[in-house]
Chain A
Amino acid sequence: MFRLYLSTQADIRAYEKESVRKKVTMNSRGLRSQLKDSVPVAGLCPQGAYGVQDSLRSGFTSVKNELLPSHPLELSEKNFQLNQDKINFSTLRNIQGLHAPLKLQMEYRAARQIQRLPFLPSSNLALDTLRGSDECIGFEDILCDPGQSEVMGEPHMMVEYKLGLL
């Protein structure tokens, strides 16, 4: 039998107090590698014309808010599906050769294009079946269901944003 926790409650409280005092909110050491290959995320880059922050829509700017995520899991969760796919495809390539991930990625691309208009919820049925996530339930099926969200976007603006005309 081994002890799973090496720090006592007193240590954890002291660490929390110290980090609040020094305004340390998270360990940003491993972030560079996560930020490097990540897909550009709308929340972390300025929207609006000419790449300048659109104060009317998104409020005032803060460089820290844009460069660093505020929660340790934010980046890894945003890119989780992409990273999983990358790992799986590279393993498949190493085992079976280049043709296997190429064929699968062709199918994924085709399935990803089956979407409804931006403001309507798409079922992504073909994509889910290919990934195998139609037989799994995770937090993304329970929390923040887009079909039950409290806010609704303006349809015309969402289509224009999707097409890049905004």
Chain B
Amino acid sequence: MALSTVLETPGAGFNFENATRNAALEGLFGGGQTPKPLKTGTTIAGVVFKDGVVLGADTRATSSEVVADKMCAKIHYISPNIYCCGAGTAADTEKTTDLLSSNLSIFSLNSGRNPRVVMAVNILQDMLYRYHGQIGANLILGGVDCTGNHLYTVGPYGDINKVPYLAMGSGDLAALGILEDGFKHNLELEEAKELVRASIHAGIMSDLGSGNNTDICVITKQGVDYIRPYQESEYKDKRNIKYRYRPGTTPVLTEKVVTLKLEVVQEAVQKMDTA
């Protein structure tokens, strides 16, 4: 149905038509009752060790005070040699990392090379600065490329920091305490995994927004080992009964079956050239 009020095709990208309406609606709610976006109040950590990078994350996603997802995947795939942990608004981290991954795969198809971690960081910086922090994504990028093992953090405004060990999210203070105490340069693989596990565990124990299981991702020159979950939490709720209702619990009043009669009108066979 063609509308006579539309005089130009709407532009692609973000659409701010409803911004005034939303601001007015928020005023109506009297502050504090609008639905909050799904945040990953989180603990994420990363450590550079001798042969690569270890990334760790908890698996709880919260929506204000409710745990929305107990097994949320916070370590996102960017490219075969780069993975990214995301804290902040869940949708923002997902979409931003997806876009980054698509851009990097176009680049590797064009040039035939594995992307470097600095390239991923620069793309993220440009993208996040353009939106002036409105995209709430705090990311830890870790990867191995031809220049070595790298660990970067990118904030929502596009500020970056390159460090050998790192923690982000609401549980970062607790995790950072463990990392500061136990970090040494050129750790072995098992020591690095244990250090990251201990730091995420500290974050889970001390922060309300982090919890449930721990995921670990080890990136080395040989490949990636994504262990999900690395450590399951001891506090798992055991449901006593099943909440599945038997068929027949709700009485069926009437039933009407209409058969959809389809007849073959035309059939055309096209041979595919698979030479």
List chain A positions with a Cβ less than 8 A from chain B. 1-2, 4, 16-17, 20-21, 23, 25, 42-43, 47, 57-58, 65, 69-74, 76-78, 80, 118-119, 121, 135-146, 149, 151-155, 157-158, 161, 166
Interface string of B1-28 (1 = CB under 8 A from A): 1111111111111111101100100110
B127 an interface residue at 8 Å Cβ cutoff?
yes
Give the complex CA separation of A134 and B155 in angstroms: 27
Supplied contacts A57-B4, A152-B3, 12 more A-B pairs, CB within 8 Å: A4-B138, A57-B5, A65-B20, A71-B16, A72-B134, A74-B16, A78-B11, A139-B99, A144-B13, A144-B15, A153-B2, A154-B4
The answer to whether A143 touches B12, judged by C-beta atoms less than 8 angstroms apart, is yes
- Contact A139 to B14, CB < 8 A, known contacts A1-B163, A20-B31, A157-B7: yes
In whole Å, how far is A58's beta carbon from the nearest beta carbon of chain B? 7
Q: Sorted from nearest, which 9 A-B pairs have the closest CB atoms? A: A140-B13, A153-B6, A71-B19, A70-B20, A70-B19, A140-B12, A161-B7, A74-B16, A154-B2
The answer to whether B12 touches A146, judged by C-beta atoms less than 8 angstroms apart, is yes
- Contact A23 to B132, CB < 8 A, known contacts A137-B99, A140-B12, A154-B2: no
B106 an interface residue at 8 Å Cβ cutoff?
yes
B contact residues around A58 at 8 Å (CB)? 5
In whole Å, how far is A31's beta carbon from the nearest beta carbon of chain B? 13
Closest to B8 in A: A42
Closest to B21 in A: A70
Show 14 residue pairs from A and B whose CB-CB distance is below 8 angstroms, ordered by the A residue.
A2-B161, A17-B32, A20-B26, A70-B16, A119-B9, A142-B95, A143-B13, A143-B15, A144-B13, A149-B10, A152-B3, A153-B2, A154-B4, A166-B7
The answer to whether B102 touches A23, judged by C-beta atoms less than 8 angstroms apart, is no
In whole Å, how far is B54's beta carbon from the nearest beta carbon of chain A? 18
B contact residues around A20 at 8 Å (CB)? 26-27, 31
Which residues of B123-166 are within 8 A (CB) of A?
127, 130-132, 134, 138, 155, 159, 161, 163
| Most interface-central of B3, B9, B106, B161 (chain A CB within 10 A) | B9
The answer to whether B4 touches A77, judged by C-beta atoms less than 8 angstroms apart, is no
The answer to whether A153 touches B8, judged by C-beta atoms less than 8 angstroms apart, is yes
Q: Dominant SS at the B interface?
A: loop
Give the contacting residue for A152; candidates B1, B8, B14, B31; CB below 8 A. B1
A contact residues around B161 at 8 Å (CB)? 2
The answer to whether A135 touches B7, judged by C-beta atoms less than 8 angstroms apart, is no
The answer to whether B132 touches A72, judged by C-beta atoms less than 8 angstroms apart, is yes
Which residues of B97-113 are within 8 A (CB) of A?
99, 102-103, 106-107, 110
Closest to B23 in A: A25
A contact residues around B15 at 8 Å (CB)? 143-144
B contact residues around A57 at 8 Å (CB)? 4-5
B204 an interface residue at 8 Å Cβ cutoff?
no
B82 an interface residue at 8 Å Cβ cutoff?
no
The answer to whether A161 touches B8, judged by C-beta atoms less than 8 angstroms apart, is yes
In whole Å, how far is B2's beta carbon from the nearest beta carbon of chain A? 4
Interface string of B211-255 (1 = CB under 8 A from A): 000000000000000000000000000000000000000000000
Closest to B12 in A: A140
- Contact A139 to B27, CB < 8 A, known contacts A152-B3, A153-B8, A154-B3: no
Give the complex CA separation of A71 and B11 in angstroms: 16
In whole Å, how far is B18's beta carbon from the nearest beta carbon of chain A? 9
B contact residues around A74 at 8 Å (CB)? 16, 19
Give the complex CA separation of A154 and B6 in angstroms: 7
In whole Å, how far is B103's beta carbon from the nearest beta carbon of chain A? 6
Closest to A84 in B: B130
In whole Å, how far is B100's beta carbon from the nearest beta carbon of chain A? 9
- Contact A137 to B106, CB < 8 A, known contacts A118-B9, A143-B13, A143-B14: yes
A contact residues around B26 at 8 Å (CB)? 20
A contact residues around B78 at 8 Å (CB)? none
Closest to B30 in A: A20
Closest to A145 in B: B12
